[in-house]
Amino acid sequence: MSNPSHQSVETHDEHHVVPVSVYIGVFLALIVLTVVTAWVATVDLGAFNFAVAIGIALFKASLVILYFMHVKYSDRLTKMVIGTGLFTLVLLLFITMTDIWTRTWMGVPGR
Amino acid sequence: MTATPTIGTETEKNYLNHQHGLKSWLLTEDHKRIALLYLLSITFFFFLGGLMAVLIRLELATPAGDLVESNTYNKLFTMHGVLMIFFFLIPSIPAVLGNFLIPLMIGAKDLAFPKINLLSWYIYILGGIFTVYVLIVGGVDTGWTFYTPLSTSYSNGYVIATGLGIFIAGFSSILTGLNFIVTVHRMRAPGMTWFRLPLFVWAHYATSLIQILGTPVVAVTLFLLVLERGFHIGFFDPAYGGDPVLYQHLFWFYSHPAVYIMILPSMGVVSEVISTFTQKKPFGYTFIAFSSVAIAVFGFLVWGHHLYVSSQSAYAGMVFSLLSYIVAIPSAIKVFNWTTTMYKGSVRMTTPMLYALGFIGLFTIGGLTGLFLASLGMDVHLTDTYFVVAHFHYVMVGGAVMGYLAGIHFWWPKMFGRMYPESWSRLSAIIIFLGFNLTFFPQFLLGYMGMPRRYHVYPPEFQVFNVLSSAGASVLGFGFVIPFVYLTWSLFYGEKAPANPWGATGLEWTTQSPPTYDNFAVTPVVTQEAYQYSTEEVAHVG
């Protein structure tokens, strides 16, 4: 809160040491999920095609953010920053999609 | 006091004479020197963009297209917009005044990441080189908005190079915002709590949030545009299976909040200037602080008001219209609070104060005419007319540039240790105010009468207002040259400035002018809230 200005930022960071096995595990999980993505694309799930593909992609992205980007071991402020970025992305996608979802509600005169 | 022919004095060590030589400037990690690098660069782009404006207004003095061809005219207004928005307005106050002042205001030695600060300037220059290259080889004619499918399929201009230039410059903006946020969180002096921060810092914190959250979106959007134009990958062009309205959504998701990147720092300057020259604590400090954050947040929810006449859903339009009205509330809070601050204050009509008062009046007109455009029905009549051009110039020039000039004059003695000539500066402030209104007020009438923007040939009945506007532009252009001349003059011949020439509060005024390389001899300890003006101080300063 009130650090003397001449102190460097780094002095307050605590580095959590993550075992190499965790990185290998996450890496293998990403590989397996990539194979699953490729395989599931060959199976017709009807309305769930898109949802399953996006679901796997989101899970993979979460693994990268949590482990490779160390967010799982970061303080609450860092988590809030990541959360704010994701929330902004959701705003962009959701509000843009509300336009597309409601475009046809009113109908087009003469059509 | 006697004038000496050097900046600062050689006997007094400061950041300007701390080191010498070109290398010491180009490799500096000092936030104050980097601010000056930005000052030089944005001044160059301001006058380059201004040159385009001169040619535009000259062309529009007559109804016929007799000065330049249609294609050239399209390139002129495009380059004017690109240069002024991405290379002057966006970096203006944050990169110059924010860079210089935020560490001083919070009692820090520098920004959190000095090397990244220097990197941001080099990135900005790289983006600028791309844009100047485009200007030299033939320009771009799409308008600064790069709407598809014109930009992806039909334009003959250098769209890809311009897009990449802006893409690159965007990273400079992101890095500046990142630096400010980390600095404000981690580098505050002992006792400098959040609610003791100057309102200038709050405004920059809010601005930085937009820079970090919004700029990547425009970068991605322009990158998609480059992919579609260069490799025919379909995102926006229906011919390739894309949706042109999607481009407008993505573009305005950044570019509307970008208006707040330009105006919020100006609001921060105005808060400081009005408080100083009324010798009063700003009325409703907390409201002004939080209204900056509210503008930043709500600013992200209104972009669809640029899309009313596209095929955007009418239902989405209704929601965007309502949200656009809501964003006026925090802006109005600021205007009312500044006005109330002046009530019964010890008001001094110095040059920064004149610009700040100009800001309040012109920004109010710019903001209120924005409400016309935010209403669904009225906008159909006014879309793509000169009413829109007048509206956003009242916000961007009447607001952002007035705030920039207020700030440059207010902190000039701190930055260079020299006073500027007060009579010349007041005169130029009045000339700029009059020239600005003469240029842009007739454009409201032109737009309401139906004159479309981005055409260089128009019916003769519009000529009277166009001549008035062009006459005003020449006054305005002259007005902008005057400060450039006397500020440069003052560097060498201006009176030597004391540490606190205005009798202002704030840590930046407690250190010498110009500040030392380390800003403060010892880290300051803050024991009271900002803006503690007392009657004794008024007596001293008056």
Question: For residues B496 and B7, what is the distance between their CA atoms, to the nearest angstrom?
Answer: 9
CATH 1.20.210.10 fits B22-541, yes or no: yes
Q: Which residues contact B502 (CB under 8 A, 6 or more apart)?
A: B276, B277, B350, B410, B509, B541
- A5, A89, A103: best to mutate for the B interface, most B CBs within 10 A: A5
Is the bond into B149 cis (omega within 30 degrees of 0)? yes
Give the CA count within 13 Å in the CB-facing half-sphere of B170: 24
Q: Quote the DSSP letter at residue B305.
A: G
B193-242 confidence digits (pLDDT tens): 999 999 999 999 999 999 999 999 999 999 999 999 999 999 998 888 88
Q: What sign for the dihedral angle of Cα B261, B264, B266, B268? A: negative
Cβ A5–B103 below 8 Å, yes or no?
yes
Q: What is the full per-residue pLDDT of chain A (111 aa) written as tens digits?
A: 444 444 444 444 556 788 899 999 999 999 999 999 999 999 998 889 989 999 999 999 999 999 999 999 999 988 999 999 999 999 999 999 999 899 888 776 665
* Three-state secondary structure string covering B16-38: CCCCCCHHHHHCCCCHHHHHHHH
Shortest CA gap B183–chain A (Å): 9
A102 touches chain B (CB under 8 A): yes
Question: For residues B274 and B338, what is the distance between their CA atoms, to the nearest angstrom?
Answer: 7
The confidence score (pLDDT) of residue B541 equals: 43
A76 touches chain B (CB under 8 A): no
Cβ-based neighbour number of residue B390 at 10 Å: 25
B369-427 confidence digits (pLDDT tens): 999 999 999 999 999 999 999 999 999 999 999 999 999 999 999 999 999 999 999 99
| Environment class of B125 (CB within 10 Å of its CB; exposed 0-12, middle 13-18, buried 19+) | middle
B487-496 confidence digits (pLDDT tens): 999 999 999 9
* Three-state secondary structure string covering B233-273: CCCCCHHHCCCHHHHHHHHHHHHHHHHHHHHHHHHHHHHHH
Average pLDDT, chain B: 94
Q: What is the dihedral of CA B358, B361, B364, B368, to 10 degrees?
A: -130
Contact B124, B41 (CB under 8 A): yes
Among B9-18, B325-334, B419-428, B468-477, name the one with the lowest average pLDDT. Answer: B9-18
A91 touches chain B (CB under 8 A): yes
Contact B362, B398 (CB under 8 A): yes
Cβ B186–A9 below 8 Å, yes or no?
yes
pTM for the predicted model, two decimal places:
0.91
pLDDT band at B481 (very low <50, low <70, confident <90, very high): very high
Shortest CA gap B187–chain A (Å): 5
Q: Helices (DSSP H) in A13-75: which residue ranges? A: 20-40, 48-63
Computed over its alpha carbons, how large is the radius of gyration of chain A?
A: 21
Question: For residues B346 and B55, what is the distance between their CA atoms, to the nearest angstrom?
Answer: 44
Contact B428, B487 (CB under 8 A): no
Average the pLDDT over B434-447 and give the result.
Answer: 98
B103 touches chain A (CB under 8 A): yes
Question: For residues B513 and B412, what is the distance between their CA atoms, to the nearest angstrom?
Answer: 10
Average the pLDDT over B464-491 and give the result.
Answer: 97
The continuous run of DSSP H or E covering B53 comes out as: helix B31-59
Computed over its alpha carbons, how large is the radius of gyration of chain B?
A: 23
| Higher pLDDT among residues B250 and A107, named by residue | B250
Cβ B213–A88 below 8 Å, yes or no?
yes
The confidence score (pLDDT) of residue A8 equals: 45
Cβ-based neighbour number of residue B340 at 10 Å: 14
User: Which of B111, B94, B119 minimizes the C-alpha distance to B30?
Assistant: B111
Q: Which residues contact B259 (CB under 8 A, 6 or more apart)?
A: B299, B392, B395, B396
- In chain B, which residues have their Cβ closer than 8 Å to the Cβ of A1? 188, 193
ipTM of the complex: 0.84
Place of tokens 């300890």: B525
Which of A91, A92, A103 lies nearest to residue B313, judging by beta carbons?
Answer: A103
Cβ B186–A12 below 8 Å, yes or no?
yes
Amino acid at B324: S
The confidence score (pLDDT) of residue A14 equals: 58
User: Which of B538, B420, B530 minimizes the C-alpha distance to B193?
Assistant: B530
User: Which of B303, B214, B87 minimizes the C-alpha distance to A88?
Assistant: B214
A108 touches chain B (CB under 8 A): no
Q: What are the structural domain ranges in chain B?
A: 22-541
Question: For residues B84 and A89, what is the distance between their CA atoms, to the nearest angstrom?
Answer: 28
Chain centroid, CA B381 distance in Å: 29
| Environment class of B511 (CB within 10 Å of its CB; exposed 0-12, middle 13-18, buried 19+) | buried
The confidence score (pLDDT) of residue B225 equals: 94
The confidence score (pLDDT) of residue B238 equals: 86
Which of B212, B253, B315 lies nearest to residue A92, judging by beta carbons?
Answer: B253
pLDDT band at B535 (very low <50, low <70, confident <90, very high): low
B215-250: burial string, b at 16+ Cβ within 10 Å, e else: bbbbbebbebbbebbeeeeebbbeeeebbbbbbbbb
A69-96: burial string, b at 16+ Cβ within 10 Å, e else: eebeebeeeeeebeeeeeebeeebeebb
Q: DSSP 3-state assignment of B530?
A: coil
